[in-house]
Structure formats: structure tokens, C-alpha cells
């Protein structure tokens, strides 16, 4: 209970403090970081746990952005309906892409999902209309400013919306990971063979993760559209797919804060460097951080910490390592 | 009484290697059968076929008279066969108790219960972890090591943990691929006692093991394999003397040293 109260307090502080401290530009920047956090959280679930190197992230991000733009432009949806519609479109897209993705592995999955992003990019560039609505081609679309009761939302209210959405994503992922379903995900990552032998079929688990992850990334895309006000086919940016994976890797799986750390690192740090006049250092620092995490904490910063704690505990209990394998263990 | 597990004329080749050449045997409820044979005899291949990890080229495996043909490992596991692995397959990022909790299975609560932290989640979680702890206690796993991950555990405890994970499935048939390999000899009697107790509760246990003294402690019956074929099976006294077993390279006199073959 105490822990929960603390989290609520930190949560309120996180919401209010930026409003008082940051100017509009910085507020936009942290809003953007939270948008990427949501996408990184979705990516982390998929890439971090199922070992499926999907580069489809930008496809769902773009679909989410276009869904909210078309929804409010054509169907006069509210921003909330637009975000929910994006989640639904993302989930459906995840189902469509998930079926073939379950059949291929690693590199071929990466290549085929990346191809999907490029195809969508090209298609949205070339197609002026779809189902009677304008897609804007390479010009893109204007996302009508979100309103409440007819009044446009200020950047502060937009921040509050994004913050609330990100907090919800955080809570969902945290509660999911800290449950039997989270244990199943870790088991899937560590030994699919053993997980199967315990009666859990792998395909439904992987499919579920794919769909869930795609929906999260599409929600992030929808907020991106609302935040930037205009979108164009560059939302289907293959680089974004890779950046999302970088965010997930830097923070690491199994730690709710992982994707947040990764997102802040990738979006805010380069800006900080640029402001300080070290523009060229931004990319370098990013590369160095990436290298260091892979070198010292390949399972991510969060797990690195818990591993250190485990070692300390094991040393204190002293279970005695008398028995070591008597012969090499082959076969299996 | 019909046998619990029947393996009938199972064949499997890898390229030119005939890992299994028409293997048949059966296992009754409450019985411990030891499967023995030199390295490369095809024991692990047979386990993989029984558990659905490997599809046989021919023959059939039946559980309670029902053919398991075409079923994947998850299906087979849900029908009541649990196994351990020759080279440990533990979940290294999960603590010991969480490793066992995975085996207790889904179904205690739904995803939405977990996400919304509903009451069903709390009750289900308490139930799952409580059951996992009980199974760990049953295999003699020290309570103070429950929240350590497998890489932090000594080898013997890892073996026990994997055994606990399989037992947590409440299987009808338990298949143990070399349960004491790499373990201290002092721990053998405890593991043997455990296996006998499991069998006494009505589970059919198939133990793959090289070490003749250990096998004699647990098994009532032996199946000897070499080069993919069963060359002898029956009660100890009916088939071979211990000296023959060791002399013909079908088992090892003790737990240390190089393999006999
Ligand atoms: N996946 C595979 N691909 C190719 N050959 C295999 C495969 N699995 C097993 N074999 C071969 O089948 C034969 C039987 O192997 P298996 O692992 O079943 O023996 P084993 O009796 O378990 O031996 P050990 O005592 O060393 O565990 C060996 O010749 C092995 O090389
Ligand atoms: Mg083997």
C-alpha cells in the first residue's frame, strides 16, 4: 500500500512538475519522449521477450498516426476515439502480420517486416485517396487539433493526455510482467523447449504478444499525430523501427522503466547535446551508450541490477558449491 | 490392467544414423523403469519421441491407450507426460519458485485480471506460488534459496529444481533424462527415495541413467538399449547380472570416471 501511495505521488509530480518548469518547446520534447516510450514499451514486449526481431514498428506507428488523422478528418471522431481506433487497427495489423511472422525467424522476419514498412511508405506516398478520403500523398494530412467540448486542447492538456496514456501503458506492462503471464514470457525467452514441455503451446503466446505489441505502437503513433498536428508518409520511417529496438535494448526487458530510460535517452539526450553546442556528439554518445549496454548489460540495465543483487544474496546464503558436473553433459 | 505408457515399434533416423530401430516397451502406473545403454544408444531420442519433441519415422506411442501420434510437446504435456532434460533447461531469468510456478500452468486467472489487478489475480497468484513452494519443499529444495535464479544455484539444486518443475505438472508419466548426472553421490539416495515415493503415488516413472548402482536403487525393471535397439528387458534378476551390465558396457559401475564404452 505504501509503495502504491509513493507511485501515485511520483506520478502526480511527474504530471505537474513539467507544466510549471518547462517552456513550450521542452514540454513538446518530453511529450515526444513519452510517445516514443509507449512505442518502445510495445517493441520491448515483442523483441525483448519473444526474440522475434520484428522491424515492423514503424508500420504500426504510421498506421496509428494515419488512423487518428483520417478518423478525425473523415469520421469526425474525437481524439479519444481516434486513439482507441488506432489501437484496434494496430491489433488487427498485428494479427495479419503475426501469422506469417510466426513461421519465419530472426533475419528473415527482420527483412520481411522492414519490407512491409517500405511498402507502406511508398503506398501512402503514391496514393492520393483511400475509401473516398484523401490520404494527401507525399504532402500528408493535417490532424485536426484535439478538442474537448469544442475547445482546442492547449499543449498543456495534450501533455496531460499523453502522460495519462503513457502511465496507463506503464501500469499495463508492469502488471502483465509481474504475473503468471510475465513468467511465461520470461520462460519463452529463456527456454521455449522447456516451456512447451510444461504444457504451454508457444504459437498462441507469441501471437498474443505480437498483437498486443502492435496495438501499443499504434497508440503511440496516434499520439504522435495529435502532438505534431500534421503527418506525412515519413511516419513510416524504417529508421524508426530500428530506433525503437535501440530504445528497448538500452533500457532492457523485465523492468518497467527500461523502455522509458531508452526513450528518454534516444529523444532527449541528443537535444541536450545540441543545446550545449555538442551537436555532433549526440550520435556518438548514442552509439557509445548502445555499445556499453550491449557489452556490460546485454539483458538491459534493469536485469543487470537484479543480477548483481542475486549474486550478493547467493553469497550470503552460502549453499555450498561442492558438486560440480562429473562429466560433460551432451545430448538432450 | 492396460499399461499406462506403451511404446510400439518406434523408429527414427537422422540422415544415415538410425537412432531408433523399432523400439518397444511399456510402463505401468506406479512402476519405475530404468532405461539404460551406452552413449549414443538412442535414449534421449526416445524421450524426445515420447514427449512429442521429435516426430518418429514410424511406430506409435500410447498414453492410457490413446495414440499420441502427431501431437506436439505442449499437447502431450497437457495429457500428462512431464520430463526433465539431460542438459538442464531451466528458466535462467526466473527465480527458483517462479520456475516451478510456470509449470503450475495458466488458467488460475485471466490476462485482464492480471492487468487490472483484480481479486482473482491475487487469489490465483497466492495459489500458484503456494503450490510451487510445496513442490519445492517436497524435493528437498532449501526455502532460503527459493528466490535465487538457477545460475546462482549449485548444480545439485538445479537438478532438483528441474525435477520439481516436472512434478508440479502432476503428471501421469514422469520421464527423467539422467536425473543424477553431475550430482554428488551423497545426494543419490535422496533422489532415489524421491523417485520411489513419486511412483508409489501412482505415477509411472521412466528413468534414463547410466549409473548402475543408482538405477538398482530406484528401478524394478530395466530396458537396455544399444545402437538404437532394445537388447534386453525385464526384472533385474531375469535378465542380467550387475557384472554383465557393466561388463557389456550397458551401465556404469559408479558415478565417476570415463564412460565404459
Ligand atoms: N538432432 C539430431 N540430429 C542428428 N543426429 C542425432 C540427433 N539427435 C540424436 N542424434 C544421433 O542419434 C543417436 C542417438 O542419440 P541419443 O542422444 O538419443 O543417445 P543417448 O542414448 O541419449 O546418448 P547419451 O548417453 O550420450 O545421452 C546418436 O548417434 C546421435 O548422434
Ligand atoms: Mg541422452
Contact B114 A183 (CB under 8 A): no
Query: What is the number of other CB atoms lying within 10 angstroms of the CB of residue B57?
Result: 14
Closest chain A C-alpha to B215 CA, distance in angstroms: 17
Q: What digits encode the pLDDT tens for the residues A289-308?
A: 767 766 666 666 556 666 67
Task: For residue A4, tell me if it sits in a domain.
Answer: no
Residue by residue, pLDDT tens for chain B (261 residues) are: 468 999 999 999 998 889 999 999 999 999 999 998 888 899 999 999 999 999 999 999 999 999 999 999 999 999 999 999 999 999 998 999 999 999 987 677 888 888 888 888 999 999 999 999 999 999 999 999 999 999 999 999 999 999 999 999 999 999 999 998 888 888 899 999 999 999 999 999 999 988 878 888 888 888 988 888 888 888 876 666 556 666 666 666 554 333 333
Task: For residue A247, tell me if it sits in a domain.
Answer: yes
* B105 at A interface, C-beta within 8 A: yes
* Nearest Cα residue to atom 22 of ligand 1: B44
Q: What is the pLDDT of residue A324?
A: 37
Q: How far apart are CA A141 and CA A154, in angstroms?
A: 20
* Nearest Cα residue to atom 16 of ligand 1: B42
Report the separation in Å between the CA atom of B87 and the middle of ligand 2, taken as the mean of its atom positions: 9
**Cβ-count burial of B237 within 10 angstroms (0-12 exposed, 13-18 middle, 19+ buried)?**
exposed
Higher per-residue pLDDT: A135 or A180: A180
Task: For residue A142, tell me if it sits in a domain.
Answer: yes
Q: Which residue of B lies nearest to A212 if distances are taken between CA atoms? A: B111
Residues with Cβ within 8 Å of residue A151, at least 6 apart in sequence: none
For residue A89, is pLDDT > 60?
yes
Alpha carbon separation from B20 to B63, B68, B185, B251 (Å, rounded): 20, 18, 31, 19
A&B contacts, CB < 8 Å? 161
Residue A188 CB-half CA count within 13 A: 27
Closest chain A C-alpha to B2 CA, distance in angstroms: 25
Which of A191, A314, A320 comes nearest B148 by C-beta? Answer: A314
* B123 at A interface, C-beta within 8 A: no
The total of structural domains in chain A comes to 1
For residue B13 and ligand 1, the question of a CB distance below 6 A is answered with no
Q: How far apart are CA A180 and CA A203, in angstroms?
A: 17
* B124 at A interface, C-beta within 8 A: yes
Please state the pTM of the whole predicted model.
0.85
For residue B43 and ligand 1, the question of a CB distance below 6 A is answered with yes
Task: For residue A86, tell me if it sits in a domain.
Answer: yes
Residue whose C-alpha is closest to residue B142's, from B83, B190, B176, B200: B190
Most trustworthy range by pLDDT among A105-114, A165-174, A228-237: A165-174
Q: How far apart are CA A197 and CA A184, in angstroms?
A: 13
* Nearest Cα residue to atom 12 of ligand 1: B19
DSSP alpha helix (H) spans, chain A: 2-21, 24-43, 50, 57-74, 79-101, 106-126, 155-177, 180-190, 192-197, 202-228, 238-251, 258-275, 279-296, 301-317
pLDDT confidence band for A254 (50 / 70 / 90): low
pLDDT confidence band for A65 (50 / 70 / 90): very high
Which residues in A54-84 are b (16+ Cβ under 10 Å) and which e?
Answer: bbbbbbbbbbbbbbbbbbbbeeebebeebbb
Task: For residue A12, tell me if it sits in a domain.
Answer: no
Most trustworthy range by pLDDT among A14-23, A24-33, A126-135, A221-230: A221-230
Task: For residue A201, tell me if it sits in a domain.
Answer: yes
Q: What is the pLDDT of residue A72?
A: 80
Q: What is the pLDDT of residue A319?
A: 58
For residue A1, is pLDDT > 60?
no
For residue B19 and ligand 1, the question of a CB distance below 6 A is answered with yes
Least confident of A75-84, A192-201, A212-221: A75-84
Task: For residue A70, tell me if it sits in a domain.
Answer: yes
Which domains can be identified in chain B, with CATH numbers? Answer: 1-80+171-261 (3.40.50.300), 92-161 (no CATH)
Which of A198, A325, A327 comes nearest B165 by C-beta? Answer: A198
Contact A183 B98 (CB under 8 A): yes
Mean pLDDT of chain A: 79
Is residue A68 within 8 Å of residue A86, measured between CB atoms? yes
Task: For residue A261, tell me if it sits in a domain.
Answer: no
Report the separation in Å between the CA atom of B86 and the middle of ligand 2, taken as the mean of its atom positions: 6
Is residue A67 within 8 Å of residue A89, measured between CB atoms? yes
Across-strand partners of B32? B205
CA of B259, closest atom in ligand 1? 25
Q: Which residue of B lies nearest to A326 if distances are taken between CA atoms? A: B182
3-state secondary structure of B223: strand
Q: How far apart are CA A6 and CA A102, in angstroms?
A: 41
Contact B93 A310 (CB under 8 A): no
Domain that holds residue A194: 28-256
Least confident of A127-131, A315-319, B186-190, B255-259: B255-259
Mean pLDDT on A189-203: 92
Amino acid at each position: 500500500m505504501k509503495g502504491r501511495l509513493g507511485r501515485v505521488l511520483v506520478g502526480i509530480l511527474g504530471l505537474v512538475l513539467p507544466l510549471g518548469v518547462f517552456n513550450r518547446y521542452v514540454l513538446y520534447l518530453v511529450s515526444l519522449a513519452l510517445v516514443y516510450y509507449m512505442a518502445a514499451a510495445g517493441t520491448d514486449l515483442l523483441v525483448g521477450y519473444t526474440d522475434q526481431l520484428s522491424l515492423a514498428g514503424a508500420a504500426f506507428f504510421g498506421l496509428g498516426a494515419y488512423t487518428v488523422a483520417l478518423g478525425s478528418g473523415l469520421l469526425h471522431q474525437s481524439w479519444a476515439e481516434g486513439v482507441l481506433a488506432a489501437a484496434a487497427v494496430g491489433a488487427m495489423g498485428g494479427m495479419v502480420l503475426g501469422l506469417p511472422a510466426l513461421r519465419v525467424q530472426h533475419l528473415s522476419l527482420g527483412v520481411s517486416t522492414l519490407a512491409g514498412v517500405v511498402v507502406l511508405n511508398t503506398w501512402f506516398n503514391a496514393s492520393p485517396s483511400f475509401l473516398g478520403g484523401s490520404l494527401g500523398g507525399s504532402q500528408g494530412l493535417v490532424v485536426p487539433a484535439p478538442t474537448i467540448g469544442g475547445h482546442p486542447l492547449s499543449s498543456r492538456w495534450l501533455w496531460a493526455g499523453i502522460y495519462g496514456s503513457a502511465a496507463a501503458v506503464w501500469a499495463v506492462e508492469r502488471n502483465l510482467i509481474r504475473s503468471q503471464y510475465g513468467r511465461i514470457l520470461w520462460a519463452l525467452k529463456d527456454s521455449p523447449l522447456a516451456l512447451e514441455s510444461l504444457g504451454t503451446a508457444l504459437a498462441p503466446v507469441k501471437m498474443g504478444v505480437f498483437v498486443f505489441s502492435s496495438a501499443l505502437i499504434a497508440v503511440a503513433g496516434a499520439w504522435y499525430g495529435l502532438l505534431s498536428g500534421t503527418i506525412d508518409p515519413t511516419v513510416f520511417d524504417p529508421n524508426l523501427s530500428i530506433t525503437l529496438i535501440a530504445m528497448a535494448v538500452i533500457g532492457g526487458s523485465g523492468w518497467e522503466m527500461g523502455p522509458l530510460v531508452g526513450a528518454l535517452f534516444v529523444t532527449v539526450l541528443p537535444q541536450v547535446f545540441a543545446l550545449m553546442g555538442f551537436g555532433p556528439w549526440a550520435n556518438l554518445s548514442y552509439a557509445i551508450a548502445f555499445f556499453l549496454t550491449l557489452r556490460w548489460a546485454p539483458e538491459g540495465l534493469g536485469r543487470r541490477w537484479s543480477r548483481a543483487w542475486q549474486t550478493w544474496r547467493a553469497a550470503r546464503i552460502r549453499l555450498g558449491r561442492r558438486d560440480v558436473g562429473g562429466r560433460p553433459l551432451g545430448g538432450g | 490392467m492396460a499399461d499406462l505408457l506403451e511404446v510400439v515399434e518406434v523408429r527414427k533416423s537422422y540422415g544415415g544414423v538410425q537412432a531408433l530401430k523399432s523400439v518397444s516397451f511399456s510402463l505401468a502406473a506406479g512402476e519405475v523403469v530404468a532405461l539404460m545403454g551406452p552413449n549414443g544408444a538412442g535414449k534421449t531420442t526416445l524421450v524426445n519421441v515420447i514427449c512429442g519433441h521429435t516426430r518418429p519415422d514410424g511406430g506409435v506411442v500410447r498414453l492410457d491407450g490413446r495414440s499420441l501420434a502427431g501431437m506436439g510437446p505442449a499437447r502431450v504435456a497437457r495429457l500428462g507426460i512431464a520430463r526433465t532434460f539431460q542438459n538442464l533447461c531451466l528458466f535462467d531469468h526466473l527465480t527458483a519458485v517462479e520456475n516451478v510456478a510456470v509449470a503450475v500452468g495458466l488458467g488460475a486467472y485471466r490476462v485482464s485480471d492480471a492487468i487490472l489487478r483484480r481479486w482473482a489475480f491475487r487469489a490465483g497468484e497466492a495459489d500458484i506460488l503456494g503450490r510451487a513452494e510445496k513442490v519445492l519443499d517436497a524435493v528437498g529444495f532449501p526455502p532460503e534459496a527459493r528466490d535465487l535464479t538457477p545460475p546462482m544455484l549449485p548444480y545439485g539444486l538445479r537438478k532438483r529444481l528441474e525435477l520439481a518443475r516436472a512434478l508440479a505438472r502432476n503428471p501421469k508419466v514422469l520421464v527423467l533424462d539422467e536425473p543424477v548426472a553431475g550430482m554428488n553421490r551423497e545426494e543419490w539416495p535422496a533422489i532415489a527415495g524421491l523417485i520411489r515415493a513419486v511412483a508409489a503415488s501412482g505415477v509411472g516413472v521412466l528413468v534414463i541413467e547410466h549409473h548402475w548402482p543408482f538405477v538398482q536403487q530406484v528401478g524394478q525393471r530395466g530396458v537396455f538399449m544399444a545402437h538404437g535397439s532394445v537388447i534386453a528387458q525385464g526384472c533385474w534378476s531375469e535378465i542380467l547380472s550387475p557384472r554383465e551390465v557393466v561388463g557389456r558396457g550397458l551401465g556404469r559401475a559408479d558415478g565417476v570416471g570415463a564412460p565404459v564404452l
